Chain A
């Protein structure tokens, strides 16, 4: 009759909603309202994909992958609700439940030989970090890398040490902005919107791909400025943010005009989204 079984990571495709337990390797305070959690994870994943993290009794939420490795995952979590708040209070060694990876991810193979333009706003920088990690791991396959990252204030800046390292990389052009610096904190960059920064930098559209992730208003403005420079929709990719429940393309919460963000996205090429 009743068959009880313990679920393991390789539980098969049938148990699609059942997560497995992992022990947190490390947890790092990234900014005043965000943390980065590292967990062991041996499934193949590509930049732009996400996992469903859960704490039994509290709930489940989608978190984008901000690393590129088949050993572990870095997950940047901004504290916005119950679930993210509960996760931020965990410590190294605590148990967290995970299932995934889900989503299409960026078509990195197609970008070979091209220059990369990454535009990120706030915690939208997190999924873009996985692209940078990928590019650094396959450096010969890619050309120049332009980073346009905007934050609200220096205190909300994430991946600070790494951004400093990226500035030293060859053929990396790093532009960091903050909207305001009310506390006059130490900050090496411009005080303006990141979109205005794009406007001021000379960029040739030829042989480039643009990847954007951030608040919709920032992405819309950035796309507008890039269009003025001659960038087309077929070379522009955005990463959409929605609250997934099932993550396998059924539950409907993440549907945008008939497309499931969890399955058809979260990465969309602009011209495909317009259809």
Chain B
């Protein structure tokens, strides 16, 4: 399998080295310009041979959905600058996935190599959450995930400003996890390829990209990579504050209106919990599939053993989610699982805002 956990720091180091070199000698060979027109042409070409995913403005319900581009209408409804309603994780970590099939005590594991994937318009939060899922699934050698992730090219879109008041990516220590990054300008996009995979991508489709001397000045501008705002979580001494306030009464108040709908988990780009179950037809219960499906720690049944839930109160379940995102994962992997996209607050039907509560913790 192509991806290894060890590859990540190397990749990050590479990108840091790259930006250092750029500051000294101007843009390297792997910065380009692409016009909006040309980007659409390129996507149209790519979508014939690969799976291209992007945030699309759905005309039916007005929602920005991150999904696969199927036709020219989809290309014209692209909204690269918008944070999608749903996370990008489903491109690799499928919502429903067949692990293997069984037929009368025979196990059949079918391996169909998926089409290569290109994910377009990923925000910094989305990119980091993919990196976090890489850590989890690579550590366990989960080939179902790795197979999907293997050849994917991640093309980011740089947010100049926060999307809304729920963004807090700047409060967390996010890294550069893109292969290619797009910076929007008046004429089109500045394109920066960071990884080998990104450089390869640009070289492969070089006729669509332009080289321009003006870029020298633009890339030298320190403000280019800044996201304004997006710092609504007070992150100072976060570990310590969370540890001290685990038994705070505030958690109970916060969880009071929770409906237990699990939207926060489903829309989270980092959450990776799942169920494994058998799916059979009524006609023949010995033939079927072992499936995995996204799951949610906010559901009462999530921790059931012998018909009894181990986290019976909503307070405990809410706390578990927040602490897993901001504490437990960091203790294990060195990074916060949460990437500050704010989807879990923005789309919560009762607007449970854990960021506000954490900000009050001393």
- Check: A182 CB closer than 8 A to any chain B CB: no
Comparing A29-37, A137-145, A172-180, A250-258, the segment that makes contact with chain B is: A250-258
Contact A252:B306 (CB < 8 A) given known A4-B110, A14-B143, A57-B278: no
Residue of A19, A57, A243, A248 touching B140 (CB-CB under 8 A)? A248
Is there an interface contact between A250 and B272, defined as CB atoms closer than 8 Å? yes
B28 CB–A CB distance under 8 Å: no
Give the distance to chain A from B113, nearest Cβ to Cβ, in Å.
Answer: 8
A21 and B137 alpha carbons, distance in the complex (Å) = 25
Distance of A253 Cα from B137 Cα, bound (Å): 16
Q: Identify A81's interface contact among B137, B273, B307, B324, CB under 8 A.
A: B307
Asked if B307 and A18 sit within 8 Å, CB to CB, the answer is no
Cβ–Cβ < 8 Å partners of B304 in chain A = 243
Looking at the complex, which of A5-13, A191-199, A223-231 is the stretch in contact with chain B?
A5-13
Is the beta-carbon distance between A81 and B306 smaller than 8 angstroms?
yes
State which of B276, B287, B302, B305 has its C-beta within 8 Å of the C-beta of A246: B276
- On whether A15 and B143 interact (CB within 8 A), knowing A3-B110, A95-B105, A253-B273, the answer reads yes
Question: A4 CA to B141 CA in the complex, in Å?
Answer: 20
Nearest A-chain residue to B330, judged by Cβ: A258
From 101 to 145 in chain A, residues with beta carbon under 8 angstroms from any chain B beta carbon are none
* Alpha-carbon distance between A184 and B280 when the two chains are bound, in angstroms: 46
Judge if A190 is at the interface, Cβ distance under 8 Å: no
Contacts A242-B310, A252-B295 given; indicate if A97 touches B107 (C-beta within 8 A).
yes
- A20 interface contact, C-beta 8 A: yes
Min CB gap B309→A, angstroms: 10
Any A CB within 8 A of the CB of B323: yes
A16 and B139 contact, CB distance less than 8 A: no
Contact (A258, B323) CB under 8 Å given A249-B140, A251-B295: yes
What residues of chain A lie closer than 8 Å to B139, measured between beta carbons?
Answer: 249
A56 touches B140 (CB 8 A): no
- Give the CA-CA distance A181 to B200 in the complex, in Å: 76
Query: CB-defined interface of B83-116 with A at 8 Å, one 1/0 digit per residue?
Result: 0000000000000000110100111111110000
A18 touching B273 by the CB < 8 A rule? Answer: no
| A156-185 with Cβ < 8 A to chain B | none
> Which residues of A sit under 8 angstroms from B278, Cβ to Cβ?
56-60
- Among A1, A13, A80, A248, the residue within 8 A (CB) of B306 is A80
A17 at the interface (CB under 8 A from B): yes
Q: How far is the CA of A58 from the CA of B321 in the complex (A)?
A: 30
Partner of B112, one of A1, A17, A57: A1
State whether A242 and B143 are in contact (beta carbons under 8 Å apart), knowing that A1-B112, A251-B276, A258-B332 are contacts in the complex: no
User: Does A74 make an interface contact (CB < 8 A)?
Assistant: no
Given contacts A16-B143, A241-B305, contact A251 B274 (CB under 8 A): yes
Known: A5-B109, A56-B290. A245 touches B276 (CB 8 A): yes
Which chain A residue lies CB-closest to B276? A245
Q: How many angstroms from the CA of A19 to the CA of B101 in the assembled complex?
A: 11
What A residues does B110 contact at CB under 8 A?
2-4
Query: Which of chain A's residues have a CB closer than 8 A to the CB of B99?
Result: 17-18
A16–B142 contact, CB under 8 A? Answer: yes
Q: Do A7 and B109 touch (CB < 8 A)? A: yes
Contact A19 B107 (CB under 8 A): yes
The answer on a CB contact under 8 Å between A7 and B327 is no
> What is the minimal beta-carbon distance from B277 to any residue of chain A, in angstroms?
6
Q: Which residues of B contact A95 (CB under 8 A)?
A: 105
Question: A250: which of B105, B142, B320, B331 is its contact (CB, 8 Å)?
Answer: B142
Answer whether A258 and B277 are a contact pair too, CB < 8 Å, given A14-B1, A17-B100, A253-B303. Answer: no
List of A residues within 8 angstroms of B292 by Cβ: 17
Among candidates A5, A19, A243, A258, residue contacting B328 with C-beta atoms closer than 8 Å:
A258
Which residue of chain A lies nearest to B146 when distances are taken between CB atoms in the complex?
A14
Residues of chain B from 299 to 337 with CB closer than 8 A to chain A in the complex:
302-307, 310, 320, 323-324, 327-329, 331-332
Q: State how many angstroms separate the Cβ of B145 from the closest Cβ of chain A.
A: 9
Measured in the bound complex, the distance between the Cα atoms of B311 and A243 in whole Å is 13
Contact of B290 among A2, A17, A243, A249 (CB under 8 A): A17
Name the contact of B108 in the complex, choosing from A4, A13, A59, A60 (C-beta under 8 A).
A4
Taking the closest CB of chain A, its distance from the CB of B121, in whole angstroms, is 27
Residue pair A60, B288 in contact (C-beta under 8 Å): no
Residues on A with beta carbons closer than 8 Å to the beta carbon of B273: 250-253
Q: Which 4 A-B pairs have the closest CB atoms?
A: A258-B328, A252-B273, A56-B102, A14-B143
Contacts A19-B107, A250-B142 known; 4 new A-B pairs at CB < 8 A: A17-B290, A251-B276, A252-B272, A252-B295
- List residues of B whose CB falls within 8 A of some A CB: 1, 99-100, 102, 105-112, 136-137, 139-144, 146, 272-278, 280, 285-288, 290, 292, 295, 297, 302-307, 310, 320, 323-324, 327-329, 331-332
Q: Could you write out 9 A-B pairs with CB less than 8 Å apart? A: A7-B100, A15-B109, A16-B141, A17-B100, A21-B105, A243-B304, A250-B140, A251-B273, A257-B328
